[in-house]
Structure 1
Amino acid sequence: MKNYILLLLLTASFGFAQNTLHYNDEKGSPKATLQNISWISGNWIGEALGGICEENWSKPIGNSMMFNFKLVKNGKVVFYELGHIIEKDNTLLLQLKHFGADLKGWEKPEISEEFRLVKVEENKVFFNQFTFEKVSDNEMNIYVVFEETGKEMKFNYKK
């Protein structure tokens, strides 16, 4: 389980990333709304981390797009994530928390992982070390840089 914790702490990179960007404090985040990224909403499934990954994203409502993530390996839940992308200060912020298969949280109750917006394109949205890419209406890639290795991993999802 500890390996999955390390894999999902998405904060550091050592130059291996090709599809992700770093947040720059001096530049800050660009202006954006959830309407810019509403294409993320839907029920997505793919294979990664040695199992089946499922992500469900709500449509924008209440200045938020909520999501849940589940990794199933060998027929058993390994862990969950719960989070959202919110509109805050005229830009977007991705926040998430991890939970074990027993629903016990990994982070302290008052702590969540936060990923600041770096850039928005028509079919891509870049958060710090975390990128969503629209391939088609029924396919999406998510690129994540893992702290443990500094390497970028691609998650391919289909509706």
Structure 2
Amino acid sequence: MMTKGAVFLLLLFSFDVLANNKFSNLLFLDHNQPSPTADLSVIQWLSGHWRGEAFGGLVEEVWSPALGGSMMGAFKLVVEDQVQFYEIETISEVNDSLIFRLKHFNKDLTGWEEKDATVDFKLVKVTDSKVYFNGLTIERISEKEINIYVAIEHEGKTTEEKFNYKKVE
């Protein structure tokens, strides 16, 4: 059974595009807008072990260096010393651009999405310090700190949430 927080986050990753971008750190593709050309060199700084606080608990992400045209990541949320859910994530080079894909899992590793389904975030834009995916932005503050911004939809209202991570040494 999914927790209330897990359902809340599932809503985040279930929507496609917002018609009106009212967020300061998020960008969204128009319906048929193509993604820009990019490769993994623009986000290689994401590699490593990151930890922060969000949703009343600890969040952790571990990203591998680029290999075979992709980076592999794992996420978990721990609240009151209990895992709430996991994500397996990839950022892959596809059609001369990047795509961020993920699948959610309950703490017992039962999946949220259908067997062959993934939640996909197409690349929108790259700057020196930010990589914008459709509704998800990864920002490099320094070599030891990153922010991840996500659009979260709950009960018809969409908000921009910030996850601040510090590198685990």
Report the TM range for the smaller structure's normalisation: over 0.9
Determine which of 54, 76, 80 is the counterpart of 2:82.
76
TM superposition shift of 1:17: 1.9
1:87 to 1:15, Cα distance in 2 relative to 1, 3 A: closer
Q: What percent of counterpart residues are identical?
A: 46
Which letter maps to 1:38?
A: Q
**2:8, 2:29 → 1: CA distance?**
20
Partner of 1:98: 104
Which letter maps to 1:63?
A: G
Answer yes or no: is the 8 Å Cα contact 1:15–1:150 preserved in 2.
Answer: no
Determine which of 3, 6, 12 is the counterpart of 1:4.
6
**2:9, 2:23 → 1: CA distance?**
15
**1:42, 1:3 → 2: CA distance?**
26
Determine which of 95, 116, 130 is the counterpart of 1:110.
116
- For structure 2, which runs of at least 5 residues remain unmatched after alignment? none
Which letter maps to 2:76?
A: K
TM-score by length of 2: 0.89
1:10-159 equivalent positions in 2, closer than 5 A: 10=13, 11=15, 13=18, 15-148=21-154, 149-159=157-167
- For structure 1, which runs of at least 5 residues remain unmatched after alignment? none
Number of aligned residue pairs:
159
Per the alignment, in what secondary structure is the counterpart of residue 97 of structure 1? strand
Per the alignment, in what secondary structure is the counterpart of residue 29 of structure 2? coil
Report 1 or 2 for greater relative contact order, CA contacts < 8 Å, sequence distance ≥ 6: 1
**1:16, 1:33 → 2: CA distance?**
28
TM superposition shift of 1:24: 2.1
TM superposition shift of 1:36: 1.0
TM-score by length of 1: 0.94
**1:15, 1:31 → 2: CA distance?**
22
Answer yes or no: is the 8 Å Cα contact 2:147–2:165 preserved in 1.
Answer: yes
Answer yes or no: is the 8 Å Cα contact 2:85–2:107 preserved in 1.
Answer: yes
Relative to structure 2, which stretch is displaced further, 22-31 or 125-134? Answer: 22-31
Per the alignment, in what secondary structure is the counterpart of residue 150 of structure 1? strand
**2:75, 2:48 → 1: CA distance?**
12
Any idea what the Cα deviations from partners look like across 1:92-146, whole Å, max 9, x if unmatched? 0000000001110011111110000000111100000000000000000000001
The root-mean-square deviation of aligned C-alpha atoms, in Å, is 1.4
